[in-house]
């Protein structure tokens, strides 16, 4: 992604993610404070009613029947009143806590959605990338994984049901090739030479696949007998490596490692099938649905709502290119008329920095932008 577009994604979606996460943290602190307040009020109630109960107990030692009866009635009244007061305190605190936690949950969700919007556009340089698909109870689950500079790694769930190939169980016969694998050699009854025994693959269903950099590893299973065919390629070219491994309950055969079997193999059909799956997985990687995981050097900052760490890591990676953009904006003539909403200007960046609150000046310095005046 171009530097200007990455900067726009950062000051809009990523800044929003930090803002919402900060609100969520503040609300979670408020929830802890509300719980402590309830505990203090309940403790005071116990202390105060305990003092009254001690005075009532003193009356129980009196010889007068009337005083003893009065102490009994006061005991009952005190227990009833104490129970009512406790219920009122707990009910009020529960209502307050539910409201705070609901609002905190809402801010958490908004922070995650904003981060999803930021990462969905692939704003960071990607050092490694793969797409995986797995069949689970008749439905394909798909995800993409990105490893970026700065130790950032994140996974997205993909819309497999929108895929041409993965909306239902993928059978090898759907590719239109008559694919079969030579898995053994046996002597013909009426001839002296060895003849291959083929395993037809028209009933084999894709169980899982993974592609990265044009390479693919795919496993196909045959329902019923548990036979498996593993296809591995290093690319889609005619000279790229192609590996085929067949296993069932009785044998395991590495077809390509056995020249006597490999000579009977239709490589073109398998290469074409592998290329179609690879192409579809790459296309599906564009259909991101939800952020599943994000780590920075193996640690998950989202669990503790440390979206600020995500922003600072992004600026470590993209800061130099962002400062170049800011320098160019600073040298550009100021617009004379109304500026369309969202146009990249120094003023727009300064306005967006305000949503970061107290950390705004620090981030402004990293971007090379004059700190905004927060009124």
Domain ranges, ordered by start, for the chain? 12-108, 126-289
Amino acid 208: pLDDT: 96
DSSP 370: P
Neighbour order of strands in the sheet with 242-247: 252-254, 242-247, 228-233, 215-222, 204-212, 126-136, 139-148, 152-158, 288-296
Amino acid 70: pLDDT: 83
Amino acid 126: pLDDT: 94
Amino acid 239: pLDDT: 81
Residue whose pair of structure tokens reads 């000579």 in the numeric block: 263
CA nearest neighbour of 118 among 30, 215, 8: 8
List the chain residues with pLDDT less than 50. none
Q: Is the CB of residue 126 less than 8 Å from the CB of residue 146?
A: yes
Q: Is the CB of residue 56 less than 8 Å from the CB of residue 74?
A: yes
- Distances 70 to 73, 75, 77, 90, 354 between C-alpha atoms, Å: 5, 9, 10, 30, 66
Strands 228-233 and 215-222: antiparallel
Q: Is the CB of residue 236 less than 8 Å from the CB of residue 214?
A: yes
CA nearest neighbour of 365 among 353, 375, 374: 353
Handedness of CA 238, 240, 246, 252 (dihedral sign): positive
Q: Is the CB of residue 346 less than 8 Å from the CB of residue 369?
A: yes
Q: How far apart are CA 150 and CA 153, in angstroms?
A: 9
Amino acid 237: pLDDT: 78
pLDDT digits over 41-90, tens only?
999 999 999 888 888 887 777 667 777 788 888 888 989 999 999 999 99
pLDDT digits over 8-43, tens only?
999 999 999 999 999 999 999 999 999 999 999 999
Residue whose pair of structure tokens reads 């649905």 in the numeric block: 289
Q: Is the CB of residue 132 less than 8 Å from the CB of residue 278?
A: no
């Amino acid at each position: 992604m171009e530097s200007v577009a990455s900067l726009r994604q950062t000051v809009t979606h990523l800044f929003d993610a930090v803002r919402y996460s900060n609100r969520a943290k503040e609300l979670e602190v408020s929830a802890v404070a509300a719980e402590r307040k309830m505990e203090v009020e309940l403790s005071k109630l116990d202390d105060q009613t305990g003092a009254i109960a001690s005075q009532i107990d003193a009356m129980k030692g009196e010889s007068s029947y009337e005083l003893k009866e009065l102490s009994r009635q006061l005991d009952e009244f005190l227990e009833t009143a104490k129970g009512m007061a406790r219920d009122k305190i707990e009910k009020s605190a529960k209502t307050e806590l539910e409201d705070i936690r609901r609002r905190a949950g809402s801010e958490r969700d908004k922070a995650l959605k904003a981060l999803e919007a930021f990462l969905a556009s692939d704003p960071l340089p990607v050092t490694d990338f793969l797409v995986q698909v797995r069949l689970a109870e008749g439905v394909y689950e798909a995800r993409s994984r990105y490893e970026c500079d700065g130790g950032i790694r994140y996974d997205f769930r993909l819309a497999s049901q929108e895929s041409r190939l993965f909306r239902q169980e993928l059978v090898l016969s759907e590719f239109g090739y008559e694919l079969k694998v030579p898995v053994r050699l046996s002597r013909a009854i009426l001839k002296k030479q060895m003849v291959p025994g083929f395993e037809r693959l028209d009933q084999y269903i894709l169980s899982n696949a993974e592609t990265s950099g044009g390479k693919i590893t795919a496993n196909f299973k045959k329902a019923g007998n548990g036979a498996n065919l593993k296809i591995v390629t290093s690319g889609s070219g005619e000279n790229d490596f192609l590996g085929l491994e067949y296993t069932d309950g009785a044998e395991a055969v590495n077809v390509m490692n056995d020249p006597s079997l490999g000579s009977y193999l239709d490589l073109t059909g398998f290469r074409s099938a592998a290329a179609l799956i690879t192409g579809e997985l790459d296309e599906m990687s564009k259909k991101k649905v939800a952020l599943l995981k994000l780590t920075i050097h193996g640690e998950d900052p989202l669990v503790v709502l440390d979206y600020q760490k995500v922003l600072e890591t992004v600026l470590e990676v993209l800061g130099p290119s962002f400062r170049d953009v800011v320098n160019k904006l600073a040298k550009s003539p100021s617009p004379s008329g109304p500026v369309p909403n969202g146009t990249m200007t120094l003023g727009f960046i300064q306005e967006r920095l305000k949503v970061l609150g107290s950390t705004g000046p620090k981030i402004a310095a990293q971007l090379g932008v004059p700190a905004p005046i927060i009124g």
